[in-house]
Amino acid sequence: MKYVSTRGKAPDLNFEQAMLTGLARDGGLYVPEKYPTLSTEKIASFSTKSYEEVAFEIMKPFVGDTFTDNEFKKIIKLAYAGFSHRAKCPIVQLSENHFLLELFHGPTLAFKDVAMQLIGQMFEVALKRRGEKVTIVGATSGDTGSAAMEAFKGLDSVNLFIMYPHGRVSEVQRRQMTTPNESNVHALAVDGDFDTCQALLKDMFNDFDFRDEVKLAGVNSINWARVLAQVVYYFTSAVAIGAPNRKVSFTVPTGNFGDIFAGYVAKKMGLPIERLIIATNQNDILHRTLKTGNHTKSGVKPSISPSMDIQVSSNFERLVFDLYKRDGAKVIELFDALKNDGSFTLSDEAIKLLNDEFDSGCCSDSETSEAIKKYFDNMGEVLCPHSAIGVNVAESQISQIPMITLATAHPAKFPDAVANACGITPDLPSHMADLYERNERMTRVSGDLKALEAIIRKGIK
């Protein structure tokens, strides 16, 4: 399988290269040259297979010969060994036609573990074989960073630096990033919001001297391997409730558009998905884009669902590439306008294609709190604020077609928002019960690229 850049000006890569590179050198994102399709019989056969077996079959065509079959099976097994639920990503029924897909049974209690645990193992095997060492720098609104710390800590072939917006992540998220002892992982508290962190990261990738000097690699949701790992649970959950014989829809709490893009890929591969519904908080740029075709940044407004406090949804570029029939020049034009003028407007045809695939809804903080309270009062289900946004938006869209809403984090990761909404303070699972007693370690950084690069240079071991 070959990977091409959404901006059409970087060399095509194989899976291993695309995984280790992250952002393409022309500023674009890597996508497969084409999507493999699975037959109905193949999809039906998943109903008797384990999560790991399905993961292997779905990802294998994308991974190509980067790993032998045995190697890849071992990687998958190790990746999901730390999940606390036997099904890995189980579903719970909320009402007759509404299901919750629980993606928070990994080590850091958010869906980011599903991809990050796999990427950690894949990097380790690929880098050991190449005899190389890389520097991974990531930007996080909270959950990616903790998942990456957990997945990469202690690995010989990786130095990891995670930037998060100072004061804008939950205490559990911060502590998950600042408490690992391993000397190859570093938490960087940036003065600014998530978009500041993400812009710094992009600029760092575009500083080719630095990029080559430290062998920069990325594991943000722009990394294709992460999107790929997330395609798997669309299949397992849909099959569990009757696909491919019946259609399903998905509602996805969305920030960077990585998770829902994985749903789009599943559909392209032949999973019979009726609708893909984007659920946002008050940072509703995607919701507005669907309604008006106008993709306009407005400042990030902090919410009680901080992992979705994002205005520049980086993976949206992958979709725009498809909306414009894979015309890289058009993508450059639009995303240059977004960078320089803060907005672009989609063509009428692109708006139509977008609305053919997706619907959207958004939720204020008070609606989110009400949804948490309602589900707790009515059925004892404690939702994290992100999952509550999904459930609330899904409710307004439920039809005859069964709906699966993605529960993206465990409620204990956002205890204050949950307690304020429904009076319950969810307990942390036992493996992190002493999180509040552990020592914290982090470096404060300004929004200055050169200063940041100096800190990274110094921290590499």
Ligand X SMILES: *Cc1c(COP(=O)(O)O)cnc(C)c1O
> Looking at the annotation, which residues are catalytic?
112
- Distance from C-alpha of 386 to C-alpha of 188, rounded to nearest angstrom: 24
Q: Which stretch binds ligand X (CB under 6 A): 10-18, 56-64, 247-255, 264-272?
A: 247-255
Strand pairing of 294-296 and 343-345? antiparallel
Find out whether 127 and 21 touch, Cβ atoms under 8 Å.
Answer: no
| Per-residue contact string for residues 303-342; x = within reach of ligand X by CB under 6 A | ----xx----------------------------------
Cis peptide preceding 244, ω within 30 of 0: yes
Measured between alpha carbons, how far is 307 from 300 in angstroms, rounded to an integer? Answer: 12
Full strand arrangement of the beta sheet holding 158-165: 216-217, 134-139, 158-165, 185-190, 443-445
Instruction: For ligand X, give the closer residue by CB, 210 or 233.
Output: 233
Cβ pair 314, 256 in contact under 8 A: yes
- Is residue 361 a contact residue for ligand X (CB under 6 A)? no
Pair 422, 377: CB distance under 8 Å: yes
Binding mask 202-221 for ligand X (x = CB under 6 A): -------------------x
Specify the residue, 79 or 262, whose C-beta has the smaller distance to ligand X.
262
Residue appearing with tokens 């995607």: 286
Backbone angles phi, psi at 164, to 5 degrees: -135, 155
Least distance from ligand X to the Cβ atom of residue 249, Å: 17
How far is 289 from 418, CA to CA, in rounded Å?
Answer: 30
Please answer whether residues 291 and 351 qualify as being in contact, where contact means their C-beta atoms are separated by less than 8 angstroms: no
* Contacting range for ligand X; rule: CB under 6 A; set: 123-131, 149-157, 252-260, 432-440: 252-260
Q: Which of 202, 330, 374, 386 binds ligand X (CB under 6 A)?
A: 386
Is residue 408 at the binding interface for ligand X, with CB under 6 A as the rule? yes
170 lies in the site for ligand X, by CB under 6 A:
no
Helices (H) and strands (E) in the chain, counts: 19, 15
The minimum distance between CB 131 and ligand X, in angstroms, equals 33
- Looking at 113-121, 156-164, 255-263, 430-438, which segment touches ligand X (CB under 6 A)? 255-263
> Which one among 254, 281, 283, 368 touches ligand X, defined by CB under 6 A?
254
Q: Which of 313, 217, 195, 311 is nearest to 258 (CA)?
A: 313
Asked if 176 is part of the footprint of ligand X (rule: CB under 6 A), the reply reads: no
**Cα gap 197→203, rounded to integer Å:** 10
Cα of 29 vs its chain's centroid, Å: 14
- DSSP secondary structure letter of residue 108: T
Of 199-207, 210-218, 257-265, 279-287, the window that binds ligand X (rule: CB under 6 A) is: 257-265
- The number of residues making up the chain comes to 461
Report if residue 456 touches ligand X, rule: CB under 6 A: no
Provide the minimum distance between the beta carbon of 271 and ligand X in the complex, in angstroms, as a whole number.
Answer: 18
Q: How far is the CB of 259 from ligand X (least distance, A)?
A: 4
- How far apart are CB 209 and ligand X at their closest, in Å? 30
DSSP readout, 60-93? HHHHTTSS-HHHHHHHHHHHHHT-SSTTSS-EEE
**Binding residues among 11-30 for ligand X as defined by CB under 6 A:** none
Of 15, 72, 257, 316, the one binding ligand X by CB under 6 A: 257
From 107, 244, 258, 361, residue interacting with ligand X (rule: CB under 6 A): 258
Segment interacting with ligand X, rule: CB under 6 A, options 25-33, 57-65, 248-256, 348-356: 248-256
Report the residue from 28, 90, 165, 255 that binds ligand X according to the rule CB under 6 A: 255
- 143 contributes a contact to ligand X by CB under 6 A: yes
110 lines the binding site for ligand X (CB under 6 A) = yes
Phi then psi for residue 393, to 5 deg, are -65, -40
CB atoms within 10 A of CB 304: 25
For ligand X, the binding residue among 170, 236, 256, 303 (CB under 6 A) is: 256
Q: Which residues bind ligand X (CB under 6 A)?
A: 110, 112, 143, 221, 253-259, 307-308, 386, 408-409
